[in-house]
Amino acid sequence: EIDVSANENGTYTFAMPDSDVSVSAVIAWDKDTPYHISTVIENTKPGSVTDEPNNLVILSDETPVAGDSVTVTLEPEVFYRADSVTLDGVELTAQDDGIYSFVMPQKHATLKVSFVPKDYTVSLGAGTTEHGKLTASRTSDLNYKDSVVLSATPDDGYYLKSLSVNTAGPATTAIDPDTTTVVSGNVETTEYGYNSYTFEMPADDVVVNCVFAKIPPREYEVAVTIADPATGTVSVVPPHAPAGDT
């Protein structure tokens, strides 16, 4: 048996005997040793967004000990969603409440979270095909701030009376048939050309509706000339009317 002395720096020394020596050691796990979790966030930005998103990953403990349960809460911006969450390459599955959890391994670990843009849709209401047709340049796989162009083609004898562009909910998507406002809704819309309008996708699905109304007939004025106004007056009812009216 050889005397071994422990040093303050964690090493051990012994005096070499006049023979070969075999060294063996037993390393015990210190259950109170904390380990570090490195968080890597990958953001796939929509083509129309240049600013870096503020997608958050919140850990219940960033330096847990082995065996501890760690929860992961994701707080993406409204137009993002989590695409994948992995711990050292192993996929984690969200619980019913959307929170992820794992048991800390006996080592440092890397948590990788990938965020991707949400996809939105544009729905065309029933009015978009009555007495004309309203089309959208895109209706699916749309991201936040993507541009959409609406084009109206009225049937002969009709015109685009009103157009509404609203988020899917909560919003009023019906149009008052007596409205005098051509464009309405809670989505900002601008004129793009004759019978065309454009808007940027909000962080929500969009519902579009419109009213094609019959073009009113042209009215003509009835002019009355009296040779001698002193002899009397002549009145015409109505003073103007479309062709064919009495």
**pLDDT, tens digit, for every residue of 187-241?**
999 998 889 999 999 999 999 999 999 988 777 677 777 766 767 777 777 777 6
Q: What's the rounded Cα separation, in Å, for the pair 174 and 168?
A: 12
Q: Provide the pLDDT for residue 154.
A: 94
| pLDDT over 70 (residue 176) | no
Give the pLDDT mean for 107-119: 95
The string of pLDDT tens digits covering residues 25-70 is 876 666 788 999 999 999 988 777 778 889 999 999 999 999 999 9
Is the per-residue pLDDT at 182 higher than 80? no
Distance between CA atoms of 235 and 45, rounded to whole angstroms? 71
Does residue 173 carry a pLDDT above 50? Answer: no
Q: Is the peptide bond before 229 cis (omega within 30 degrees of 0)?
A: no
User: In the predicted model, is pLDDT for residue 171 greater than 60?
Assistant: no
CB 98 within 8 A of CB 74: yes
Does position 175 have pLDDT exceeding 80, yes or no?
no
* Residue 185 C-alpha from the chain's centroid: 18
Q: Compute the distance between CA of residue 60 and CA of residue 73 in angstroms, rounded to an integer.
A: 8
Task: Report CA-CA distances (Å) from 189 to 40, 192, 209.
Answer: 38, 9, 13
Find which of 12-26, 33-47, 137-151, 174-188 is predicted with most confidence, using mean pLDDT: 137-151
E-state strands within the chain: 5-6, 12-13, 37-43, 56-59, 69-75, 80-87, 90-91, 100-103, 109-117, 122-124, 132-136, 147-154, 158-167, 183-184, 189-193, 196-200, 206-214, 219-221, 240-242
Phi-psi region of 88 (alpha: psi -120 to 50; beta: other; left: phi over 0): left
Burial 51-67 (b: 16+ CB within 10 A, else e): eebebebeeeeeebebe
Contact 62, 37 (CB under 8 A): yes
Q: How many CA atoms lie within 13 A of 230 on its CB side?
A: 0
246 pLDDT more than 80: no
Q: What angle do CA 65, 70, 67 make, to 5 degrees?
A: 40
149 pLDDT band, cuts 50/70/90, is very high
Kindly state the average pLDDT of the residues 239-245: 68
pLDDT tens across 18-27, in order? Answer: 888 888 887 6
Q: pTM for this one?
A: 0.71
State the alpha helices, DSSP H only, in 115-224: none
